Structure 1
Amino acid sequence: MAQLKAVKTTGVPRGRVPQGRAPGVGSIMWDTLTDMAALPLMIPIATMQSALPAVGTAVNKYGIYKSDPQGRGRRTNWSMIRFLYDGGDFAHSEASQLRALHANIKGTHEDGSKYYALHPKTFRIVPDTFLDGVIRIRRDLGKPLTAEEEITLYEEYVQLCLLFGIAEKDIEPDMQAFYVYYEALMRNTMTYNETVQYLTGRAIELPARMKQFKSLQPLADAFHRRFVYPTMKLCAIGALHPIYRERFNLPWSDHDKARYKKLCGRLNRYSRMVPRALRYNPIAYLVRLGFHGPGLVTLQELDRIEAKKKERAAAYKKAAGE
């Protein structure tokens, strides 16, 4: 098992590696995305990924985010930490498995256009949204990056793209060029599709379904509605990129802005009062100790899950008709 070591974030980028490299412990990306103070503001990262038509369509077709949202969430969390971690072979192995999983994800949109999960502009949406998410999370939490830190973060992003198998020719040379591309993507390509609508609505309305102690589910639901859902709903819209939110005219009043600013202030105070070790994502601790956690779901497993869903639906229909 690996021993945990404290690593300080620096403003100096490490040398570029042709095959890519995980940001790693002590990087700006790692320190931001493993901090529980940033967790509420990370919710829209997945939403922005799904707003890309190819991702939204594929997730809706192949994903289990509706039938097993908690399981999907756990696996996503573990996967994210594994490809951000620079210990052992975690990151390169995870990136290879991600490419292998997505190699057969292709199809046709409703408008007849084709999509392919490994198309560079599609597959790099994860690093794209991580880069933009980290910058805006740090700003919203009152800890904006310096110009030097932005250069370091951009190099972390480039290395992550290379790790994902994105060729350097498909990556913008600097942050300014990236935002020209990314803002055009939000204005001209991203959609407010069925997957996005679910992630910003139904997906956050209820807590995890209890497999044991089912009699306590009503209490858990009531607690979630009263104390958790309002914050999740606020962040699900408020932490979206403003260009995307405004393009689709998502509800965002002056009162919402004030509530969001107040929440970010509370998260900032929490991050100053609570030691970093106590704000660490528990999964990050486990990965650093050598635990792999649940693996990715294969397309074959997704097919089996889908078949079971159809069987249950047919049985329910039959029972309802009798």
Structure 2
Amino acid sequence: MAPPVAKGTAAWRYFGDFRDVLLAGQVLVLQVAHPVVAAGVRDHSAYTEDPWTRLMRTGASLSIYVYGGAAGARVEAARLRELHRAFTGVAGGRRYSALDPGAYAWVHATLVMAPVDAQRFFGRPLSTSELNEYYAQMTGIGRILGVRERDLPPDWTAFEEYYAGMVADFGPNETITTLLDTIHTVGKPARWLPDRWWPPLQRYQARAQLFLLRATLPPEFRARLGLQWTRRDQLRFARFARLTRFSGALVPPPLRTAHMRWVGKLNVWLRDHPWAYRFLT
């Protein structure tokens, strides 16, 4: 069993960095680019009706693995595997399962890569030693989740090759199209937000989400999806990345992950106190 992630190590510093949220759209598109994940999301996910709740639950779950301690991670991993055990169906004339080893490993792989990409775009790229430490920690978390050793490469260099090879095989699919459409039609994220405020905010969030998605997807995959990217777009993104990098540097490192550490510990406490968990959820 993998040891808990120690304070100050690479996964502790980078997995919950607040800038990671800028790649949320990219991660989801890359996940559903896998045909098994696409079929499972199409048949069993309510993301088109309530993507905000799904996003919050995903973030809460992720926080436990790094910041919730080894015991909390094991409990959450068992819960997720039991939940996904029922996600089965038929796609393209073949039966699928959400626990398909290759698809399950790919979902974890996208979560491994996202913080590295976030630092490359919006922070300071990880050094070779940091990448090696980070990858070892994240493969350990993968073992807790049930990702088989043979389904992910043994080191970071081999992982990069695996990741690029997977992306090279992906193309457009129905679930990606629905996901991109949902960005334009998503309802307001909170009941307290006045109805009249949401239409302009919705248009802004759609433009921002699609811009970041186009900016951060692997270029060849972006082109296969038919998403345009111009020199002007690249200049705008470079300015945005510089601003984000500068503002992020002003935040003390412990505060960059404080929200995820707090959520991780809170979720472990809630799972140990079912009455509170039922009350809040």
TM-score by length of 2: 0.85
- 2:135 counterpart of 1:157: no
Question: Corresponding residue for 1:197?
Answer: 177
In the TM superposition, residue 277 of structure 1 has moved relative to its aligned partner by 4.8
Question: Corresponding residue for 2:60?
Answer: 78
In the TM superposition, residue 293 of structure 1 has moved relative to its aligned partner by 5.6
Give deviations 1:279-299, integer Å, cap 9, x for gaps: 4463531333565569xxxxx
Are the structure 2 counterparts of residues 281 and 48 from structure 1 closer, same or farther at C-alpha, using a change threshold of 3 Å?
Answer: farther
- 2:47 counterpart of 1:59: no
In the TM superposition, residue 204 of structure 1 has moved relative to its aligned partner by 5.4
Are the structure 2 counterparts of residues 88 and 231 from structure 1 closer, same or farther at C-alpha, using a change threshold of 3 Å?
Answer: same
Question: Corresponding residue for 1:264?
Answer: 241
Are the structure 2 counterparts of residues 293 and 55 from structure 1 closer, same or farther at C-alpha, using a change threshold of 3 Å?
Answer: farther
SS of 1:108's partner is strand
Paired with 2:256 and 2:32, the residues of 1 have a C-alpha distance of 28
Paired with 1:69 and 1:290, the residues of 2 have a C-alpha distance of 20
2:86 to 77, 93, 104: 104
AA matched with 1:177: A
SS of 2:126's partner is coil
| Structure (1 or 2) with the larger CA radius of gyration | 1
In the TM superposition, residue 80 of structure 1 has moved relative to its aligned partner by 1.1
AA matched with 1:245: R
Paired with 2:187 and 2:198, the residues of 1 have a C-alpha distance of 7
- 2:230 counterpart of 1:253: yes
1:221 to 195, 199, 222: 199
Give the count of matched residue pairs.
Answer: 272
Q: RMSD across aligned C-alpha pairs, in angstroms?
A: 2.6
AA matched with 1:284: R
- 2:214 counterpart of 1:237: yes
Are the structure 2 counterparts of residues 239 and 204 from structure 1 closer, same or farther at C-alpha, using a change threshold of 3 Å?
Answer: farther
Are the structure 2 counterparts of residues 203 and 223 from structure 1 closer, same or farther at C-alpha, using a change threshold of 3 Å?
Answer: closer
SS of 2:188's partner is coil
Are the structure 2 counterparts of residues 155 and 168 from structure 1 closer, same or farther at C-alpha, using a change threshold of 3 Å?
Answer: same
In the TM superposition, residue 224 of structure 1 has moved relative to its aligned partner by 4.1
Are the structure 2 counterparts of residues 166 and 33 from structure 1 closer, same or farther at C-alpha, using a change threshold of 3 Å?
Answer: closer
AA matched with 1:219: W
**Which protein has the bigger helix share?**
2
1:43 to 25, 28, 36: 25
AA matched with 1:249: G
SS of 2:69's partner is coil
SS of 1:89's partner is helix
Question: Corresponding residue for 1:183?
Answer: 164
Question: Corresponding residue for 1:305?
Answer: none
Give deviations 1:20-72, integer Å, cap 9, x for gaps: 35546434334323222332133311221111111111111110101222211
Question: Corresponding residue for 2:277?
Answer: none
Identity of aligned residues (%): 24
In the TM superposition, residue 177 of structure 1 has moved relative to its aligned partner by 2.1
AA matched with 1:158: T
SS of 1:114's partner is strand
AA matched with 2:216: A
Gaps of 5+ in 1: 1-18, 295-322
| Equivalence map 1:286-297=2 (5 Å) | 286-289=263-266, 292=269
Paired with 2:67 and 2:186, the residues of 1 have a C-alpha distance of 31
Are the structure 2 counterparts of residues 99 and 205 from structure 1 closer, same or farther at C-alpha, using a change threshold of 3 Å?
Answer: same
Paired with 1:132 and 1:284, the residues of 2 have a C-alpha distance of 20
Are the structure 2 counterparts of residues 225 and 118 from structure 1 closer, same or farther at C-alpha, using a change threshold of 3 Å?
Answer: same
Are the structure 2 counterparts of residues 43 and 62 from structure 1 closer, same or farther at C-alpha, using a change threshold of 3 Å?
Answer: same
Paired with 1:26 and 1:204, the residues of 2 have a C-alpha distance of 39
Paired with 2:228 and 2:246, the residues of 1 have a C-alpha distance of 27
CA contact (8 A) 2:186 2:202 kept: yes
Are the structure 2 counterparts of residues 206 and 68 from structure 1 closer, same or farther at C-alpha, using a change threshold of 3 Å?
Answer: closer
